[in-house]
A and B are shown apart, each in its own frame.
Chain A
Amino acid sequence: MTEGIHGFSSPRADVFPAGLRVLVVDDDPTWLKILEKMLKKCSYEVTTCGLAIEALDLLRERKDGFDIVISDVNMPDMDGFKLLEHVGLEMDLPVLMMSVDGETSRVMRGVQHGACDYLLKPIRMKELRNIWQHVYRKKIHEVKDSESHEGLEEILMMRNVSEQQSDDGYLFCGGDMTPGSRKRKDSEHNKYEEKDFADHSSVKKARVVWTVDLHQKFVKAVNLIGFEKVGPKKILDLMNVPWLTRENVASHLQKYRLYLTRLQKDDLKTSASGTKHPDINPRDTTEKRTEPIKIQQNEAVSSHRTTNHTIHEVDVKGNNAALQTIKPKKMITGYAAKTSIHPFESTQYSQFNSVLPTQYSWGGGFKEIQFKQENNNNNAPQFQVHNSCFTGVGLPAQQNTSIPSFQLPDPVIGPTWSMKQDPCTEQTSINNMELSPFLLQGQHCSSTNVDHQNKGVTVTKFNDQEFINDALKFDYDYEYPDLWEYPVIGQGLFIV
């Protein structure tokens, strides 16, 4: 970005803000038309979108094709705040929210999610004329950030001071401290940042643009490592992007964590208060879960950054129902993610993995899995999720404990799930995920037909998108207790 603000480098300086590339997202066709007209009158370059998903696709396709996004808060396919988060995380563009509803709580949410401004409908021309200031402001801050580390130390000091004063102090330290960082009242965030900066004294590099690809690599790495154990260095190593620095990763990680937490909170709220999404109510069941688990779940869900919306809005169907389908797998996945992970690449596993899901769904898999587990027992079966979408599953000593004690411990952090991306990835991811639970359970069954693993490998069914979707659907069904009650031992227990 050093060559400047896209579209606002010197040649255009004289005409700025004319030609500002605005993306307007609103499900109301009347408003969309009006806003388009108004923005055109401001000499902006307008693109309109009636759906949030479409908007995200557009933004991803045309990376750096827009300068600012204006979005309505209430949209049928996706909560405007979610869109806001995504844009902030993936594209880091300024986003303005709009609504006919000006309740303080809503406006506050907008700000919390990172909106640059919150406009009330009906919107006046003069309000739109000034939106360029948000783009400009961001650019300035970016430039500042990439300047010498003297500035950095100053910031650090300021932050130290303010932190002493209060948790909220961070907010008053000044504008964006790090590229794209948002002002957040989050002491954890503060500490993390501090530690990060304190670790190095090198000059801050130019802003990194976290493109979709880059972010996906990031999430993969996070999942591989396991959200709990994640750290910038580890992620950086796994990502294998030479020009990326640890600092870049660190700051992105913070954003990511906060994003997940916020979405999590939102989901709790929305599930409590109902959502506008007709068929997508993944969080409905979360109410029954414990907080931490929910967070994990949602983190996992949120980590999906695909255009495949079904994945995002995982439909967490009833826990009980889940047992009938693939659901339980997910849970375990979470757990699995939590356990120690040792990258374990084994062809066996891959085969296994692929098999698992299908089998599971057909009621026969479970057995297989168990055995597989047995097989590798000694090696503390761990396997790495291929496609690194998934956190490796480690089966530590637990293997020999009875199922009941197999508590999904602190809900493992979600991001194991990044079922995003390519379909093939999806498939494997599913495999992996499902694998873990089985592995755990397998412990108890000693009968052993290791050969099972070779059987019925026809995983093909998994390729079935539907299957995948279903699998995804039940996503973090952390109702482990139920699952575990099933006698692990029996075969065909999990008849789907």
Chain B
Amino acid sequence: MAAVSQLQRQFIEYTTSLYNEGYLDDQYTQLQKLQDESNPDFVVEVVSLFFEDSEKLLNNLATALQQKIVDYKQVDSHVHQFKGSSSSIGAQRVTNVCIHFRNFCEEKNLDGCLRCLQQLKHEYIQVRNKLEGLFRLEQQILQAGGSVPMMESICTSASTMSSSGKLSA
């Protein structure tokens, strides 16, 4: 069906751009590989868990940084947790902000921390939106009777796509 192949193409392009722009990395691919018939919604489930956890962590961070006397150890441990969970789904940009954030924690630089928190929120919301968009596309493909293209093949063709200029961010 034309609709399906169109959707599939869209999906591929979209996914490729996410990888290229660093929103997702190889870990996300790994997750895709883990998904199988016994667990067809595995990726969505894991990502949902991540969203839940992240929101909690962001709140905790905000609270911790609002204290009169900021406990940087506590802040650092939250960031560490966030780093861990973002790495679990391959949310690369989020993980990178965490790294910077931890440096500020070590320096007890409140300003730096607050800025990182803002950045963290921003990156998190971005990746969340992107993933939600991706899932929607997947649903559309499935509903149109097609199958979702495998990540691996998408990733490998990413370079060819970009070189051929087909890539649309």
A31 contacts which of B39, B74, B77, B84 (Cβ < 8 Å)?
Answer: B84
Q: Is B80 an interface residue (CB 8 A)?
A: yes
Say yes or no: A30-B50 contact (C-beta < 8 A), given A122-B88, A273-B73, A276-B77.
Answer: yes
Interface residues on B, range: 20 to 34
Q: Is B81 an interface residue (CB 8 A)?
A: yes
Q: Which residues 32-85 in A have Cβ within 8 Å of B in the complex?
A: 33-34, 37-38, 41, 72, 74
Say yes or no: A33-B46 contact (C-beta < 8 A), given A74-B77, A274-B73, A276-B73.
Answer: yes
CA distance A34 to B45 in the complex (A): 10
Say yes or no: A30-B34 contact (C-beta < 8 A), given A121-B84, A122-B27, A276-B77.
Answer: no
CB A180 to nearest CB in B, in angstroms, measures 31
CA distance A29 to B52 in the complex (A): 10
A37 contacts which of B34, B50, B52, B87 (Cβ < 8 Å)?
Answer: B34
Query: Are A33 and B73 within 8 A (Cβ)?
Result: no
CA distance A38 to B30 in the complex (A): 10
Majority SS at the chain B contact face: helix
What chain B residues lie within 8 Å of A37 (beta carbons)? 34, 39, 42
CA distance A27 to B83 in the complex (A): 13
Q: Is B15 an interface residue (CB 8 A)?
A: no
Say yes or no: A100-B39 contact (C-beta < 8 A), given A34-B46, A74-B80, A122-B30.
Answer: no
Query: Are B34 and A100 within 8 A (Cβ)?
Result: no
Name B25's closest neighbour in chain A (CB-CB): A122
What chain B residues lie within 8 Å of A273 (beta carbons)? 73
What chain B residues lie within 8 Å of A257 (beta carbons)? none
Q: Is A124 an interface residue (CB 8 A)?
A: yes
CB A92 to nearest CB in B, in angstroms, measures 28
What chain A residues lie within 8 Å of B30 (beta carbons)? 122, 124-125
Q: Is A167 an interface residue (CB 8 A)?
A: no
What chain B residues lie within 8 Å of A74 (beta carbons)? 77, 80-81, 84
A121 contacts which of B50, B53, B88 (Cβ < 8 Å)?
Answer: B88
What chain B residues lie within 8 Å of A41 (beta carbons)? 34
Say yes or no: A30-B42 contact (C-beta < 8 A), given A100-B87, A122-B87.
Answer: no
What chain B residues lie within 8 Å of A482 (beta carbons)? none
CA distance A437 to B68 in the complex (A): 41
Name A32's closest neighbour in chain B (CB-CB): B49
Q: Which residues 261-288 in A have Cβ within 8 Å of B in the complex?
A: 273-276, 278
Q: Which residues 65-121 in A have Cβ within 8 Å of B in the complex?
A: 72, 74, 99-101, 121
What chain B residues lie within 8 Å of A274 (beta carbons)? 71, 73
Residues of A that sit less than 8 Å from B by CB: 27-31, 33-34, 37-38, 41, 72, 74, 99-101, 121-122, 124-125, 273-276, 278
